[in-house]
Structure 1
Amino acid sequence: MTDPTAQEKIAQALRGIWISSRATLEERISVLTQAGQALAAGTLDDSLRQQAESAAHKLAGVLGTFGMPRGSALASQLEQALGNEKSNDRHAEVQQWLVELREEMAAQDRRCA
């Protein structure tokens, strides 16, 4: 048996961090989902908009750290769309980005299993 390489050790550490961070990441997705639903219904208030913008910003950074450029880009798009008070006309895009973001995260879950 050989010792793991530095790259393998880093990959193992990142998998562990992903798994331990998953609940926090899911909370952020939940905030984005609530905001997306409120946006579609025309009831997105400033408080939820700010929470969603913050959640999306944090996800963009974290997902980039985990080597998920597509997930990071989707979170950035959500941040920009939800941070814009005139985003009501983008609710269909927001919903699609949320679906794609969930798919990206599920793929990472499978890689880390």
Structure 2
Amino acid sequence: MLAALWQKNQPLMLERLDLLDRASTHPELHEEAIAVAHKMAGTLGMFGFPEGTAIAREIELALEAGNRNISHLAARLRALLFPTR
């Protein structure tokens, strides 16, 4: 059941990862990226990705501190969640 729920939510997670990627170079996405990172931090543990929760929280904290250089963190999160892509 959890696997089916993860499968259903993968497109949303990919959209969120794409937004985090774009936020590094598009300041107008800053606030939305904070919200996205917060949502991901809150849900990834439920899907069995505690490391994903930690990375998403790290992204959220970096953005809240004004650091937009999160592309390396977003790449780590993408590789963790979608290792075959």
Same fold (TM over 0.5): yes
TM-score (norm 1): 0.68
How many residues end up aligned between the 2 structures? 84
Answer whether contact 2:20 2:71 (CA < 8 A) is retained: no
C-alpha distance in 2, partners of 1:59/1:100? 14
Question: Please, which of 65, 71, 74 is the counterpart of residue 95 of structure 1?
Answer: 71
List structure 1 runs of 4+ shifted beyond 4 angstroms: none
- Equivalent residue for 2:9? 21
C-alpha distance in 1, partners of 2:55/2:9? 19
- Equivalent residue for 2:41? 60
- Equivalent residue for 2:31? 50
Counting aligned pairs with the same residue, the percent is 31
> Which protein has the bigger helix share?
1
- Equivalent residue for 1:81? 62
User: Tell me, which stretches of 5 or more residues in structure 1 are unaligned?
Assistant: 1-12
Displacement of 1:26: 1.0
Displacement of 1:73: 0.4
TM-score (norm 2): 0.88
Which one-letter code corresponds to 1:98 in the other structure? A
Which structure would you say has the larger Rg? 1
Listed one character per residue, the Cα deviations across residues 3-62 of structure 1 (whole Å, up to 9, x for unaligned) are: xxxxxxxxxx110000001111111111101102x1xxxx513xx111000000111111
Which one-letter code corresponds to 1:76 in the other structure? R
C-alpha distance in 2, partners of 1:18/1:53? 22
Displacement of 1:84: 2.1
Displacement of 1:67: 1.5
- Equivalent residue for 1:8? none
C-alpha distance in 2, partners of 1:71/1:60? 7
Which one-letter code corresponds to 1:44 in the other structure? P
